[in-house]
Chain A
């Protein structure tokens, strides 16, 4: 492979990353708040990174992007509802929410894993639809079962009809309890004409994200991690090697769902309130967009992809929606740009992934044809040689 081919392959493999970087950098001068970007970016990245990490293991097990991670997010939200209802405050409240959410997430993960095992090869679209379906179940729980079947103590969060949780849940009792546990603030920095505002660094949240990254690295080296890799590469070969394929796939989805539960709790503690019925709806799409922006595909993802992706996606969210109203002179285009770009990147990345796979197959076929041609030529030459002798 010559240098030109290498460069073009590198460009093709990282096309989504380059498009996003170019778009964000182009919007930066028009965003009007460049000085605040480092602080906002730090808050956004630490808020989201855990959720995006939840997608790695199913990709590793060959199940593509687990859009049913919203089930884990729902479990986390149910935990937070109980936490607010029982008025468990601060970091203890988060721990309490996680403890409540864990068994629910495991249950949801088992359900999702079983469903996805029945539609091998179409996991992504199935998990997407499963997420929509379970949203209905979640709303049934939140709007009808809380206060009737599941007891609610606080009239503050209960709908006045006597059952159901209010649409917006105030999370003031747990707000920032993890981010502010141990945090440092850098001083403001002046770079030429630009003043970068102080950046708050939430050390505990970062430590948890780093610990999760190390856990994933360690997990990949375990027997179960190697089994997942084998299943992800080729299910038939893995089965022939004695690996329980279905069980391995279910475990990967359960781990992803439980991580999504914790990720959603970390995400929501960073925000003051929770949209009770639909806070989870965008979780899967945003996490998928982030990991795809980072250069991951439906069949390969790494920690590097997560970190690059979360940073780039939120860098784009900080610049493009703010630049768009200035460029187009209309304030309401900001949200349009946000949605358009996040969904657009998912579509673009999946199309590129399909294109790459097709290209790879074509290359493999061509290589086979050439190899077959060379063998035939060699055979013919050998036969001619034999005839002459």
Chain B
């Protein structure tokens, strides 16, 4: 928009050092808040890891009889054959330490979970046998949608 002198209103205001300083401070604050939001989202993003020690339908590998797995900073969980366990982790590269409880060397690997992936499944018998891929995306809601829920009833008329 132009004023009577032909100079734009914004450029006139931008010439004012106080206005420029205020604008810079506000822009910096907005950037800071957005940065905090982005940082907290990346660092705090939770993923559910399904630790699987089940026999596959095609019988291509054997489940591990007993093992202890520790993911990220969480507590170690013990699994026996035929069991799945859900563990929630934050961040995209949690460390998985598995003790096979049979005298063999424990395995320590770093998972790489895509940021947008909510669930991943870790096939522990495959990890032990060195069969790739032992970690895959997992979609628990792919076939089953949650039960219908009605919208809230209207509140009383005034």
Contacts and interface: CB of A to CB of B under 8 A. Distances in A.
Partners in one complex: yes
B41 A86 contact: yes
A102 B151 contact: no
Given A95-B36, A99-B36, A160-B147, A89 B44 contact: yes
B90 A159 contact: no
Given A99-B37, A99-B40, A156-B141, A92 B148 contact: no
Interface magnitude class on chain B = 20 to 34
Given A160-B147, A164-B151, 13 more contacts: A87-B46, A87-B47, A88-B41, A89-B44, A89-B45, A92-B43, A96-B41, A99-B40, A159-B148, A159-B149, A160-B146, A160-B148, A278-B152
Nearest to B45: A88
Nearest to B89: A89
A145 to B, nearest CB: 14
Contacts, number: 75
A167 B153 CA distance: 10
Interface in A85-144: 86-93, 95-96, 99-100, 102-103, 139, 143
Nearest to B43: A92
A166 interface: yes
7 contacts: A89-B90, A93-B44, A96-B40, A99-B40, A153-B118, A156-B146, A161-B148
Nearest to B152: A277
Contacts of A86: 41, 45
A31 B79 CA distance: 46
Candidate in B141, B145, B152 with the most chain A CB atoms within 10 angstroms: B152
Contacts of A155: 141, 145-146
Contacts of A166: 146, 149
A173 interface: yes
B88 interface: yes
B23 to A, nearest CB: 17
Nearest to A167: B152
Contacts of A143: 151-152
A154 interface: yes
B92 to A, nearest CB: 12
B146 to A, nearest CB: 6
Interface magnitude class on chain A = 20 to 34
B27 interface: no
B101 interface: no
A88 B38 CA distance: 11
Listed from nearest, the 10 A-B pairs whose CB atoms lie closest are A92-B44, A99-B37, A89-B46, A95-B40, A92-B40, A88-B44, A87-B46, A96-B40, A155-B141, A160-B148
A86 B41 CA distance: 8
Contacts of B44: 88-93, 95-96
Contacts of A103: 33
